[in-house]
Amino acid sequence: MVRKRVGVLVSGRGSNLQALLDACADSAFPAEIALVIANVADAPALARAERAGVATRTIPHRDFPSREDFDAALDRALREAGIDIVCLAGFMRILTPGFVEGWRGRMINVHPALLPAFKGLDTHARALAEGVKLHGCTVHLVVPDLDAGPILAQAAVPVLDGDDADALAARVLIQEHRLYPLALKLLAEGRVRIGNGRTHIDAPAPDGVLANPQP
């Protein structure tokens, strides 16, 4: 099996990065993390990558005169590393349409809500304020519009009496850590087709087909 090379973009804590690193530690997983890029030099996520023996780069957005220049540097680093798939994991910079187009169908993000509900920030507090009974997380393909793009996978959690935003966030985060590796696996196995703004997941290939491609 040839594993897909994944680049992960991070800005902070990196718990979703950790979930991806842990999944990729299994040599049977169809992807490996080849590069982690942070736009913030002291992002705790970088230490997680280093601990796992994964190459890291810091590309501070403040070093660039425009978003286009920053994105061009990201793009160069990803292509130099031979990256096939990009995962955003708590990455907080808006990516330009040109960059997004260059990775169309090959870039995914995890969002802490059941999209299309609660796009944007403070999703847990807003879900509580609306009184929803179900909340959750979404992995979606990245398109130029924020928190939009075809939905790849979702997981729901109950909202419980007495929840505050932190308690709800913790319940959702457990699902993010389960869902993100699952969604990456589907994409890395080449099972995701996109049509009409939706994803369709093909059945897994029979045993051995992906593992032993014939010339």
Task: For residue 93, state whether it binds ligand 4DW (rule: CB under 6 A).
Answer: yes
Tell me whether the omega of the peptide bond preceding residue 116 falls within 30 degrees of 0, making it cis: yes
The tokens for 214 are: 């014939």
Tokens 């457990």 belong to 174
Residue 44 binds which entry of ligand 4DW, ligand GAR, none, CB below 5-8 Å type-dependent: none
> Please, which residue, 11 or 210, has the CB nearer to ligand GAR?
11
CB closer to ligand 4DW, 100 vs 179: 100
CB of 11 to ligand 4DW, least distance (A): 7
What is the C-alpha to C-alpha distance for residues 100 and 72, in angstroms, rounded to an integer? Answer: 11
Contacted entry of ligand 4DW, ligand GAR, none for residue 14, CB cut-off 5 to 8 Å set by kind: ligand GAR
Residue from 16, 109, 138, 199 binding ligand 4DW (CB under 6 A) = 109
The SS3 assignment for 146 reads coil
CB of 97 to ligand GAR, least distance (A): 18
Instruction: Select from ligand 4DW, ligand GAR, none the partner in contact with residue 100, using the beta carbon and a kind-dependent cut-off of 5 to 8 Å.
Output: ligand 4DW
**Is 111 labeled as catalytic in the residue annotation?**
yes
User: What's the CA gap between 149 and 32, in Å, rounded?
Assistant: 24
Would you call 189 exposed, middle or buried from its count of C-beta atoms within 10 A (0-12, 13-18, 19+)? middle
Residue with tokens 């909340």: 135
Q: Is 107 exposed, middle or buried (0-12, 13-18, 19+ CB in 10 A)?
A: buried
By beta-carbon proximity to ligand GAR, the closer residue of 16 and 39 is 16
Is residue 182 within 8 A of residue 157, CB to CB? The reply is: no
- Given 111, 135, 140, 177, the catalytic residue: 111
Task: Confirm or reject binding of residue 75 to ligand 4DW (CB under 6 A).
Answer: no
- Written as six digits, the tokens of 177 are 């850590």
Among residues 6, 89, 183, 192, which is the contact residue for ligand GAR, using CB under 6 A?
Answer: 89
Is residue 127 a contact residue for ligand 4DW (CB under 6 A)?
no
Token pair recorded at residue 22: 């842990």
**Which residues are marked as active site?**
111
Q: What is the binding site for ligand 4DW (CB under 6 A)?
A: 88, 91-95, 100, 109, 142, 144, 146-147
